């Protein structure tokens, strides 16, 4: 297909596609004349993924290039692909357990109690530990045990997430969906929780 | 207690407490001399709630004053209290169904299918509808039915949330906890989902 068709099917403006080509986020098309090139389905999927990483996940162009390059090198390792696209893991820095503090953090204890396999450097560990500290500082009785039932529900949410990637075989398309579903559903999941709280509160506290 | 003790027990600096007193977020203490006043447990709870609304929920001082005033007027209506503190409802503008578009939105259809009681003006409705539109624009097969199983998990999350408020009787303290737990756990719940995805992905896609 021509670049105009690639633009129409992806919803990405032609000028942006040309910029991505210059920045090597997309491989060049097959030249059909001095000024025209032909693109295929692979370009389309890669373009959509690049767009999702930049516009939805908010990555810089250079980080997106690195992620896409890593995706090319590891295209059979779906687990690593998801990790790369979602920012949980990195290819260039191996886990270094020796750098970690001796004392297990609340996040470490939670993950260990759940029996989860989570990379040592996942930034989500810090989120858990820092929030528990804040809650305690504010006088709320919350520790990692408080989070166990929430984590069990998160497991079921993740099963729903992953199940939605099953109906496509193409690794790039799966990764694109993983990024979009993970990031775009975040505000929705929080909105559903707020609404469910409102509903549960109405059930527990009938209006006087 | 003196203002210094109030500061120590709340973790709020004395200068900030004086500012809150001037802005009428806190009622004046009982004057014990020309320059000293005595504060009680009610001041402490109200101070902590004001601090939570401003520092954690990010409300302005004037909005916080309105919320606290509404809390005073409706202190027996726990359902309304939570709604006010969490921003789901407002006291001054009644629901006006006539303003709503004729066509039910995807959020309306979802809420109706779930059997939830949600105020017509909840901003969370817009979040759901807008995100579904974005997902569809990006070519993902997602409609309100996709969200039903997520919403069922959100119900169970909300039950966990509300259960954590049960062990205190004081309405101000319950509302403070509701605000803190709802807002502060948001990044943690998203972090748990990411970690659960990583774990689920490791189970489904063993490393090649």
- Cβ separation A202–B79 shorter than 8 A: yes
**Which residues of chain A does B200 touch, with a Cβ-Cβ cutoff of 8 Å?**
155, 158-159, 161-162
Residue A198 CA: distances (Å) to CA of A203, B118, B158, B200: 9, 7, 9, 30
Name the nearest CA neighbour of B201 among A20, A177, A27, A144: A177
pLDDT class of B101 with cuts at 50, 70, 90: low
pLDDT class of B32 with cuts at 50, 70, 90: very high
**pLDDT higher than threshold 80 for residue A110:** yes
Highest-pLDDT range among B44-48, B109-113, B126-130, B159-163? B109-113
Closest-CA distance of chain A to residue B32, Å: 29
Highest-pLDDT range among A59-73, B48-62, B99-113, B149-163? B149-163
Closest-CA distance of chain A to residue B99, Å: 21
- Cβ separation B195–A122 shorter than 8 A: yes
Name the nearest CA neighbour of B87 among A154, A205, A190: A190
Tell me, what's the pLDDT at A98? 52
Per the CB < 8 A criterion, the answer to whether A129 and A110 are in contact is no
Instruction: Give me the residue from B86, B150, B205 closest to A157, CB to CB.
Output: B150
| DSSP label at residue B98 | G
A17's enclosing H/E stretch is helix A14-22
Cα three-residue angle B191-A159-A163, rounded to 5 degrees:
125
Per the CB < 8 A criterion, the answer to whether A169 and A41 are in contact is no
Tell me, what's the pLDDT at B207? 64
Q: Which residues in B113-138 are b (16+ Cβ under 10 Å) and which e? A: ebebebbebbebbebbbebbeebeeb
**Which residues of chain B does A198 touch, with a Cβ-Cβ cutoff of 8 Å?**
82-83, 86, 88, 116-119, 122
- Cβ separation B194–A119 shorter than 8 A: no
The answer to whether the complex's ipTM is over 0.90 is no
DSSP code string of A182-193: HHHHHHHHHHHH
Assigned token pair, B19: 């500012």
pLDDT tens for each residue of A161-198 = 888 877 777 777 777 788 778 888 988 999 999 899 88
- Cβ separation B131–A197 shorter than 8 A: no
Tell whether B163 lies on the interface with A, counting CB pairs under 8 A. Answer: no
pLDDT class of B42 with cuts at 50, 70, 90: confident
A13 SS3 class: coil
Tell whether A90 lies on the interface with B, counting CB pairs under 8 A. Answer: no
pLDDT tens for each residue of B116-141 = 988 887 788 888 998 888 888 777 87
Assigned token pair, B131: 């995100």
A38 SS3 class: strand
Highest-pLDDT range among A86-95, A129-138, B7-16, B77-86? B7-16
B92 SS3 class: coil
Nearest chain B Cα to A134, which residue?
A: B184
B90 SS3 class: coil
Cα three-residue angle B26-A204-A156, rounded to 5 degrees:
105
Nearest chain B Cα to A117, which residue?
A: B199
Over residues A117-125, the mean pLDDT reads: 82
Q: Which of residues 14-53 of A touch B (CB under 8 A)?
A: 48, 52
Instruction: Specify the pTM.
Output: 0.76
Q: Which of residues 46-85 of A touch B (CB under 8 A)?
A: 48, 52, 56, 76-80, 82-83
Tell me, what's the pLDDT at B100? 53
Q: Which of residues 95-154 of A touch B (CB under 8 A)?
A: 111, 114, 116-119, 122, 124, 127-128, 131, 134-135, 137-140, 142, 146-147, 149-151, 153-154
Q: Find which of B136, B171, B176, B192 to mutate to test the A interface (most A CBs within 10 Å of its CB).
A: B192
**pLDDT higher than threshold 50 for residue B171:** yes
Tell whether B158 lies on the interface with A, counting CB pairs under 8 A. Answer: yes
Closest-CA distance of chain A to residue B52, Å: 9
């Amino acid at each position: 297909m021509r670049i105009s068709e690639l633009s129409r099917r992806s919803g990405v403006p032609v000028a942006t596609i040309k910029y991505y080509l210059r920045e090597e986020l997309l491989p060049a098309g097959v030249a059909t004349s001095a000024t025209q090139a032909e693109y295929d389905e692979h370009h389309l999927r890669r373009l959509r993924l690049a767009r999702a990483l930049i516009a939805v996940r908010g990555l810089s162009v250079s980080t997106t290039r690195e992620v896409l390059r890593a995706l090319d090198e590891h295209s059979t390792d779906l687990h690593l692909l998801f990790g790369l696209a979602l920012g949980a893991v990195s290819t260039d820095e191996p886990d270094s357990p020796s750098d970690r503090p001796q004392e297990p953090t609340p996040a470490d204890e939670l993950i260990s109690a759940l029996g989860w396999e989570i990379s040592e450097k996942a930034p989500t560990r810090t989120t858990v530990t820092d929030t528990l500290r804040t809650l305690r500082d504010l006088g709320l009785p919350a520790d990692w045990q408080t989070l166990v039932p929430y984590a069990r529900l998160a497991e079921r949410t993740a099963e729903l997430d992953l199940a939605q990637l099953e109906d496509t075989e193409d690794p790039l398309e799966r990764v694109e969906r993983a990024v979009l579903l993970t990031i775009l559903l975040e505000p929705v999941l929080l909105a559903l929780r707020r609404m469910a709280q409102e509903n549960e509160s109405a059930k527990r506290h009938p209006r006087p």
